[in-house]
Amino acid sequence: MFLAQQADWGVMADRAPDLDDARMQQWADLVERRTGIVIPAERRAFLGAGLRGRMQQLGIVDHDSYYRLLAKERGVAEEWSQLVDRLTVHETSFFRHTPSLQLLTDEILPTFVARNNGNATGFQVWSLGCSTGEEPYTLAMSIQRYLDRVDSDALFGITATDISRPTLKSAREGIYSERRMGGVAADFRARFCVDKGDGRWQITESLRRRICFAQLNILEARGFPLSNLDLISCQNMMIYYPRYQRLQILELLAQRLAPGGVMVLGPADLPCWAHSEFERIRFEGTLAFRRQMAGTASVKGT
Ligand SMILES: C[S@@+](CC[C@H](N)C(=O)[O-])C[C@H]1O[C@@H](n2cnc3c(N)ncnc32)[C@H](O)[C@@H]1O
């Protein structure tokens, strides 16, 4: 931990003092400026806890020293990544939202396979805010299982992105404890996971190879080279963002879908969203929009 060795960090202590409102606002402004993440007043305690946790880890007691470090323009990308990891919630699980997975296997995949006549055309997926990998691996297992069942030789690939580097590291490894594997049924385990013999399971290499994990802050994703997608899964990520940012995110996602492509959101994300090129898919318990087959996306209203 090189930072703890710097001279001006102040005296090490177990716990940094609490911040007053003005300093908290200063921190929130810095975080927003550098990451786009808005921390509203009601989540300031979360910001304080995140700062304290990271400072404790580094042995820094003085908020100002840590602030000065992060406010630097260069050479602090890794430290920002560590802090952002503490300011975001990574809770996830395998097969987390059954209705969305049913939508995938009952509606999205059959439509795709029918439209592509069972050819080896790639089904391209973006799993956004993928955390430690459970969501993209669930999608990969479900897609592969469906393609096996209908005897389709269609290929598929998943790009899985998250702002947090530590979560991506464990996502790439694809190793999970028995407790975290709780949602994975025995037949899926047998087909897609390897028992490591120490109470942990690893996703098979062939399934892991279907997924490309990459770090991406969705609020800074304008130039991210993904387009013509058949499915975007964006669940339990936007709940932490205010409405105007959700709208910005959805506008960006809308542009990345192929005609006929679908984005599946968390049911409470932005149910009233409307777009001239999209229709809402009515499937119980889900919030999903399909891009119509012809035309170019442009936001009509919200
Ligand atoms: C609660 S987890 C949801 C994981 C998974 N999608 C699910 O539904 O189980 C939210 C994830 O979104 C990520 N996240 C938050 N803000 C983000 C941003 N601006 N860009 C990319 N990922 C972000 C967090 O790091 C976290 O891993």
For residue 93, tell me if it sits in a domain: no
pLDDT (tens digit, 9 = 90+) per residue, 145-190? 999 999 988 899 999 999 999 999 999 999 999 999 999 999 999 9
For residue 302, tell me if it sits in a domain: no
pTM for the full model? 0.89
How far, CA to CA in Å, does 201 sit from each of 168, 189, 197, 206?
17, 9, 8, 15
- Tell me the mean pLDDT in the region 68-91: 91
Query: Which residue, by CA, sits nearest to atom 2 of ligand 1?
Result: 90
The domain that contains 19 carries what CATH number? Answer: 1.10.155
Q: State if residue 239 touches ligand 1 by the CB under 6 angstroms criterion.
A: no
- Tell me the mean pLDDT in the region 74-95: 92
Q: How is 182-215 classified by DSSP, letter by letter?
A: GGS-HHHHHHHEEE-SSSEEEE-HHHHTTEEEEE
Q: State if residue 214 touches ligand 1 by the CB under 6 angstroms criterion.
A: no
Please tell me the distance between residue 182's alpha carbon and the centre of ligand 1 in angstroms.
21
Determine which helix (DSSP H) or strand (DSSP E) holds 279, and give its type and residue range.
Answer: strand 278-281
**Cα separation of 38 and 283, whole Å?**
32
For residue 259, tell me if it sits in a domain: yes
79 plus 140 within the same structural domain: no
Q: Where are the beta strands (DSSP E) in 130-252?
A: 156-162, 175-177, 193-195, 200-203, 211-215, 229-234
Q: State if residue 142 touches ligand 1 by the CB under 6 angstroms criterion.
A: no
pLDDT at 240 over 80: yes
Of 158, 124, 153, nearest to 138 (Cα)? 158
pLDDT attached to residue 40: 87
Please tell me the distance between residue 7's alpha carbon and the centre of ligand 1 in angstroms.
35
258 plus 152 within the same structural domain: yes
Q: State if residue 221 touches ligand 1 by the CB under 6 angstroms criterion.
A: no
pLDDT attached to residue 13: 39
Q: State if residue 132 touches ligand 1 by the CB under 6 angstroms criterion.
A: no
DSSP at 127: E
pLDDT attached to residue 16: 57
37 plus 109 within the same structural domain: no
How far, CA to CA in Å, does 210 sit from each of 81, 140, 141, 169, 221?
26, 7, 10, 16, 22
For residue 196, tell me if it sits in a domain: yes
Judge contact between 295 and 277, C-beta under 8 A: yes
- Tell me the mean pLDDT in the region 221-250: 93
Average pLDDT, the chain: 89
Judge contact between 164 and 84, C-beta under 8 A: yes
pLDDT attached to residue 302: 36
171's CB contacts (< 8 A; 6+ apart) are 130, 131, 132, 133, 136, 160, 162, 213
Range of the domain at 19: 2-87
148 plus 79 within the same structural domain: no
114 plus 70 within the same structural domain: no
Q: State if residue 138 touches ligand 1 by the CB under 6 angstroms criterion.
A: no
- Tell me the mean pLDDT in the region 54-72: 93
Of 63, 87, 111, the last residue of a domain is 87
How many domains does the chain divide into?
2
**Cα separation of 62 and 2, whole Å?**
16
Task: Place 121 in a pLDDT band, splitting at 50, 70 and 90.
Answer: low
Q: Between 20 and 296, name the one with better pLDDT.
A: 20
112 plus 67 within the same structural domain: no
109 plus 160 within the same structural domain: yes
34's CB contacts (< 8 A; 6+ apart) are 70, 80
Coil, strand or helix at 140: helix
**Which atom of ligand 1 lies nearest, measured to the CA of 35?**
19
Q: How far apart are the first and last CA of the chain?
A: 47
pLDDT attached to residue 147: 94
Please tell me the distance between residue 232's alpha carbon and the centre of ligand 1 in angstroms.
14
Task: Place 231 in a pLDDT band, splitting at 50, 70 and 90.
Answer: very high
Please tell me the distance between residue 89's alpha carbon and the centre of ligand 1 in angstroms.
7
Q: State if residue 217 touches ligand 1 by the CB under 6 angstroms criterion.
A: yes
141 plus 242 within the same structural domain: yes
pLDDT at 114 over 60: yes
**Cα separation of 72 and 84, whole Å?**
16
Q: State if residue 236 touches ligand 1 by the CB under 6 angstroms criterion.
A: yes
Q: State if residue 92 touches ligand 1 by the CB under 6 angstroms criterion.
A: yes
225 plus 131 within the same structural domain: yes
pLDDT attached to residue 4: 29
- Tell me the mean pLDDT in the region 105-120: 84
For residue 191, tell me if it sits in a domain: yes
pLDDT attached to residue 17: 64
**Which atom of ligand 1 lies nearest, measured to the CA of 167?**
27
For residue 297, tell me if it sits in a domain: no
Strand-by-strand arrangement of the 175-177 sheet: 175-177, 200-203, 193-195
pLDDT attached to residue 120: 52
Q: Between 294 and 8, name the one with better pLDDT.
A: 294
**Cα separation of 212 and 136, whole Å?**
10
For residue 193, tell me if it sits in a domain: yes
pLDDT at 142 over 80: yes
Q: State if residue 154 touches ligand 1 by the CB under 6 angstroms criterion.
A: no
45 plus 112 within the same structural domain: no
